[in-house]
Amino acid sequence: MQRRTLLKSSAAALVAVSLAGPALAQDPLKVGFIYVGPIGDLGWSYQHDQGRLAIEEEFGDKIETVYLESVPEGADAERALTQMAMQGADLIFTTSFGYMDPTINVAAKFPDVKFEHATGYKRADNVATYNARFYEGRAVMGTIAGHMTKSNKIGYIGSFPIPEVIQGINATFIHAQKVNPDVEISVVWAYTWFDPAKEADAAKALIEQGVDVILAHTDSTAPLAEAAKTEGVIGFGQASDMLDFAPSPRVSSIIDDWSPYYIKRVQEALDGTWTSTDTWGGIGEGEVVIGEITDAVPAEVKAEAEALAAAIGDKSYHPFTGPLNKQDGSAWLAEGEVADDGTLAGMNFYVEGIKGDIPQ
Amino acid sequence: MMGSIDPILLIASLMVASTPILLAAIGELVTEKAGVLNLGVEGMMIVGAIAGFAMAVETGSPLMGFLGAALAGAALSLIFAFLTQVLLSNQVATGLALTLFGIGFSALIGQGYTGVRPPPTPKMDFGPLSDIPVIGPMLLRHDPMVYVSILIIAAVWAFLKFTRAGLVLRAVGESHDAAHALGYKVVRLRVLAIAFGGACAGLGGAYLSLVRVPQWTEGMTAGAGWIALAIVVFASWRPWRVLAGAYLFGGVTVLQLNLQAAGVAIPVQYLSMAPYLITILVLVLISADRRRAAQNAPASLGRVFHASS
């Protein structure tokens, strides 16, 4: 594993440097992006790149963007970031959890460059963090999944056992169980963000176990392609709309829309009002969008899911509202109590009812 | 525990999961037997993946897709052959460059194919044989490429062991100077071996994009080519061991995913490490016994040949 990442990383970094946008205009703000997968993944990295295109559209000649795709998480990211900073980037978005320490390290060496790290929790004077409340979308998917499953088994392909993914699993299960008390969830950890063959194999393994609803927290459309092979199995678009698989197996999707955030932050950088902040937007802020629910879902289920999304959006409902117990049966949230962001950001436990352990 | 794993389904999906690396590895084995180390397997695979995908989508025929993939893989490998055999460039560097080029080039030609669904590859029809209990669902319900890959293994084995041409190929890989002195066309043979390796890698890539996933995504081989290279070493350059190695590597991946799906508590990291640990172990073992190591690894592997030297 290590050897090939090493070889691949030098490869990716060498070939992927790409300049885009008009290069002239007096001293444009140079905005850099580091992606963990290819921008053609039609998922996570694709959506971040859509955000990059949105700021180009918005600011035109006032900015210039650069991006590096398929940068492995870990030590090589540090090299890629250093290179980008040395090439004169003024604001750099690092768009995967595993870039957290490299971002902090490089930011210390370039105090004049502003950094924005997605989904992490370490900040500095020139490092801001931002994330989206994907679990809000998962709550809506969980509701649909609970209604739609006939075998009462739903499957979840996790990437890495990190809080962001565990929130999603818990939110899915809580809401599936709410509408279907018999539901069970099986989790498969793929230990990768992007490996279509492995993601497809994981989906296949779940389907062979009788799962008929597949959720994925990895970056490609492969789980949907696998689900499409078996009649009666449904899934959801993840990170991007993945409409190519509608109306079935893709019955709805969680879309990450980074454009509003990127436009706001670039504007602040241009105005000189940029500061290190921590932003965590959800459905209400427009960062998490529920993709169209197709006709494969009965109308009343669709209405219920949409109502839930609306309630989460206007903050009248929080997906983690008590009473909720942890997996071991100990109390977590009392009746009516709502989870605080600190607990969610460090979530490392399953809620009651989920079987299996989180790998440590 | 949610349920137990059905060994029949497990072996069936293991065969499917292993086929891409199996094809790429057997091609690389022939290339290396001729004394050429081509590290561009990953690049040739991914170009095969998009070429096969595009061909299958445009013609509507998976068979044409696989043909196109083999041709594309071979064409790409001929660039490598030209650079290393004619211009005598360094094989390691050229192979790496080929991988970089392949990944970028496939992304370029793949632009219009993301989100497209390929024509389905039909399963082989063995008639009533497919209904034999256990063996039927396990072995006789696959798509043709699974059987083709095993046939290629058998053919390579027979070619290297029993034919005169195979003997010459091995001679070229063991000592190109001696083979040259005997009048064998070292460069021509190596070019052919490289092209065969490229064609097989292309087939492996197309199997990913047409059968196993099936869709086109940039970078979808995700390191499978490097695993294929490891399998050749693991197999100590023997065709049937390539089959065993590929099924082991593919099998461990599928097994750990299935164990997780079945709710069995196992530390997946150890299973994921296992094939690599075994490869290292095999390397240590074959290098510990010098005589046997000399028998297996082609002696001229990776060395530049020039007729004047």
Per-residue pLDDT of chain A (360 residues; tens, 9 = 90+): 444 444 454 444 444 444 444 444 458 999 999 999 888 888 899 999 999 999 999 999 999 999 998 898 888 899 999 999 999 999 999 999 999 999 999 999 999 999 999 988 899 999 999 999 999 999 999 999 999 999 999 999 999 999 999 999 999 999 999 999 999 999 999 888 888 999 999 999 999 999 999 999 998 889 998 898 888 999 998 888 888 888 889 999 999 999 999 999 999 999 999 999 999 999 999 999 999 999 999 999 999 999 999 999 999 999 999 899 999 999 999 999 999 988 998 899 999 999 888 887
CB neighbours of residue A341 within 10 Å = 10
Residue B198 exposed, middle or buried by CB count within 10 Å (0-12, 13-18, 19+)? buried
**What ipTM was predicted for this assembly?**
0.82
- In sequence order, which residues have a C-beta less than 8 Å from that of residue A140 and are 6 or more positions away? A175, A252, A254, A290, A305, A308, A309, A312
Question: Is the Cβ–Cβ distance between A101 and A122 less than 8 Å?
Answer: yes
Question: Is the Cβ–Cβ distance between A237 and A253 less than 8 Å?
Answer: yes
> Best interface-test mutation with A: which of B18, B50, B143, B257 has the largest number of A CBs within 10 A?
B257
SS3 for A253? strand
Question: Is the Cβ–Cβ distance between B119 and A52 less than 8 Å?
Answer: no
> Best interface-test mutation with A: which of B37, B103, B141, B260 has the largest number of A CBs within 10 A?
B260
Question: Is the Cβ–Cβ distance between A144 and A251 less than 8 Å?
Answer: yes
Q: pLDDT, tens digit, for every residue of B212-243?
A: 888 888 888 888 999 899 899 888 899 999 99
Which residues of B are less than 8 Å from A208 in CB distance? 6, 9, 13, 258, 261
Whether residues B223 and A15 touch (CB distance < 8 A) is answered with no
Structure tokens at B89: 């460039």
Residue ranges of alpha helices (H) inside chain A are 2-16, 44-59, 75-86, 100-109, 134-148, 163-179, 196-208, 222-227, 259-271, 299-313, 341-345
SS3 for A92? strand
Pairing outcome for strands A18-20 and A63-68:
antiparallel
Pairing outcome for strands A153-158 and A184-189:
parallel
In which element (H, E) is residue B270 found? helix B268-288
Structure tokens at A122: 């370490």
Give the span between the Cα atoms of A259 and B250, in whole angstroms: 40
What domains are defined for chain A?
Answer: 2-132 (3.40.50.2300), 135-255+291-345 (3.40.50.2300)
Residue B271 exposed, middle or buried by CB count within 10 Å (0-12, 13-18, 19+)? middle
Q: Report how far apart the first and last C-alpha atoms of chain B are (Å, whole number).
A: 66
Question: Is the Cβ–Cβ distance between A63 and A56 less than 8 Å?
Answer: yes
SS3 for A33? strand
SS3 for B35? coil
CB neighbours of residue A325 within 10 Å = 14
Chains A & B: contacts with CB separation below 8 Å: 141
What is the nearest CA distance from B257 to chain A, expressed in angstroms? Answer: 6
Among A172, A120, A119, residue whose Cα is nearest residue A141: A172
What domains are defined for chain B?
Answer: 7-112+139-296 (1.10.3470)
